[in-house]
Chains A and B, each alone.
Chain A
């Protein structure tokens, strides 16, 4: 059982999709229930991973499976090779955790073709999980591309007014990047064969040991980095994101923000950085600069938005800039912080999109100016919105603080000190745009008649949002639950990238995580 845990987890949603496709069309309630149950079971299947203590001590891949998949004579081997380590562990859990929430959030919003919607959500889950656990570049590429198809349809069919433009833009942006990566992948494969290093398929572990010529690394790195930068998205290839986020249905936005953007950062962690360490060092200042520009630019543009959803979308650009900066710090604190911030962003921004969805379902508008004084009418909603807003800003005791703090600390300790100085202003700007938006929406006079009859959150909506609120505090108060399991793998990664062994890790991480704990007790 346990040796096929990952396969079971990954393909269970696909199985669920087939079931959903076979159900009769008009039975919306049944379709939704089946989908919810499938995603919940998937989450339960993934739980043993989260509880497994092995990740605390071991940086290796666990739960690995290996099946020879495609083999053409003596050239071309591709393997179904999967596994999970401390880096991918929490991203996998995040995915299985967010999916039921996303399904539940669409309970009432989706009326058109529920069957297709649910089937696509399940297909998307399989593709995302598959991408996180692939240990073979070819396999990764397949899942990576497969992810595009359901999201394209989710945006295009169930999206807002400008959905067609957004869907096509999303698809083409991402596909262009990944096609160039495909060329690099094949090139890498032949290079590996040419150098005589034993290569079994497109195994990442084998590719790590290649020691590619720095001049060549540069081009391969650019192809990978470009593809992942689009997905993150980094400035200046971020422009698909506001469109896609704004037009996508709520569940689409939540999944896009919570999981799919992480594919880009994960791609850097797993592929671009460790495969091409020399090239990484060469491009590091430029990439860090782009990250910082992303942080500040995203925040400034977010500030000017009239539409709440667009504001949240631009805030993503800013937050992902932080994540990238943490990665480029290349030390344990920075990368730990970056991975944690990937999770945090999934939770906080996912929650923000859900909140936007709640008010949109009630008022069918997202313009800030259409609201005002909602807190009087919806006190529970106001409380939760406040918590999520503060977590997004990074208030101590919430998850956002831990992540950003670690990232900035990591960056200050690395060569990127000056970048960190500018990045810090992003924290302040985040407080400005988030709180300003919150104030205009929730406080002030309740002067619009439509707003005076709004109902507070229903039980279903509370079920959707409360798990995320719990996580906000959990990570904020006890980040070590998460950090301790990623640290060994992160250290190994740093060793891989910098060539230097990382000593006495736990001592480095604990103090920085301690203040919040102390505060709570």
Chain B
């Protein structure tokens, strides 16, 4: 027994989880601090959270190219995790930036909001650093539980309640699938360590067709694909995205989605890479299905939040194309795309945050009629984000899609690439329609309620800078994404 403890202690390497540790401790301290503060009196929690995120980012960056492993192979702070950590931190920071004024407007200036965002970021980081199914599951739970609360954060609003409850019920259900899948894989391989699972399968090739292994793989895929919102497991997305507070919607579409991708890719490429033949076909079909579902249903949406929800489904489909390709370009393109998507989508949501009235009943296409004339600068920034979502150069969305389809073509998936670009073409229609309303219709409102709140404006400007930067000089970031491969 003593020996066991000793071995365990020797294996402890806090450096491997340092970013999550710092962020978790900050979040707890912040929670405590809130107890002594008058609610909504200052923006202090907001700034402290940003500080904590900055510290986390700094610690993460310091570990670049100096991978740390710890806890007997349960967690790793390798380049892969660091890259994703930065995406999460970025998404969280931008979300927090746009939240302060929003929470005040909606009448919920509550302190625990920020720690919850931080906790969900911790969960996301654990998922990316998790090299063991247990750590990944732990991360997923931390992430999800915080998000369930955040989705239903406006407890006085029916839609928000619906979002929280729906997300919780379906999420819990899908987590069950994931856990069951993990159990089956453990049953076959006798280990929960992702790398060991990979080693096991490469040594026991006959086990690859073991129904338990295949079943475990399918169940795990279901759990992950639910979180990423891949069709047909995307049904929760529109309602949850529409009902949640807008900054949280922005966060969910960028951070947790990327986290699920991070864990999914690590498990499936490292752990179940030898099983590729049995999952690649399935993912091929699901990628196409997701793109088609997301894009075609988005066409008929009139609420912008809901439209962006469906568009985020479609974008998950594009990213999945990179995973199907499963080659160096494809995978690094997925990493790149997660970052690009965080910029462009959070930017678009920031405009919605700025343009919304209390209760956000005006976030419809009609509500944006003439927005381009009354609020030209905001409209131009939104336009840039939308063009990026369409994938028109020179924007982050274009380079991202370019790399992804390049990965697919390099791996020989010509039809997948063609279907992908055709889907992009479909998506033009609904993104363009927003511009049609903003620029081609006469204004019905004077948009006098729109004020350029500093936080959300900063978030928007940062997003647009990011979109253009990744669009015009993507080399540096793409090279980083490439170094981040395991």
Contact = CB atoms under 8 A, between A and B. Distances in A.
Interface string A162-194: 011001100110011001101100110110000
Nearest to A176: B425
Given A153-B439, A168-B429, A183 B417 contact: yes
B14 interface: no
A223 to B, nearest CB: 9
Contacts of A145: 392-393, 398
A69 B393 CA distance: 15
Nearest to A70: B475
A72 B475 contact: yes
Interface string A62-94: 000000011111011000000000000000000
Contact of A141 (B393, B429, B435): B393
Give the interface size bracket for B toward A: 35 or more
B425 A172 contact: yes
B479 A180 contact: no
Given A148-B392, A156-B439, A190 B425 contact: no
Interface string A38-69: 00000000000000000000000000000001
B410 A190 contact: yes
A468 B398 CA distance: 39
B421 A157 contact: no
Interface stretch (B140-148, B174-182, B401-409): B401-409
Interface in B369-398: 373, 376, 387, 392-394, 398
B33 interface: no
Contacts of B394: 142, 146
Interface in A132-172: 141-142, 145-146, 148-149, 152-153, 156-157, 163-164, 167-168, 171-172
A76 B410 CA distance: 11
Nearest to A179: B421
A153 B436 CA distance: 9
B175 to A, nearest CB: 37
A183 B392 contact: no
Contacts of A195: none
A113 interface: yes
B478 A72 contact: yes
B32 interface: no
A179 B422 contact: yes
Centre residue among B376, B394, B410 by max chain A CB count within 10 A: B410
A164 B436 CA distance: 7
B434 to A, nearest CB: 12
Given A113-B373, A149-B392, A183-B418, A172 B436 contact: no
Given A152-B432, A176-B425, A179-B424, A76 B406 contact: yes
Centre residue among B393, B424, B478, B482 by max chain A CB count within 10 A: B393
Contacts of A113: 373
Given A70-B478, A72-B478, A180-B422, 12 more contacts: A73-B482, A142-B394, A145-B393, A146-B393, A156-B436, A156-B440, A167-B440, A172-B425, A180-B418, A182-B402, A183-B417, A189-B406
Interface of B: 328-329, 373, 376, 387, 392-394, 398, 402-403, 405-406, 409-410, 414, 417-418, 421-422, 424-425, 428-429, 432-433, 435-436, 439-440, 473-475, 478-479, 482
12 contacts: A70-B473, A72-B478, A76-B478, A141-B393, A146-B394, A152-B432, A164-B436, A167-B440, A176-B425, A179-B424, A183-B409, A187-B417
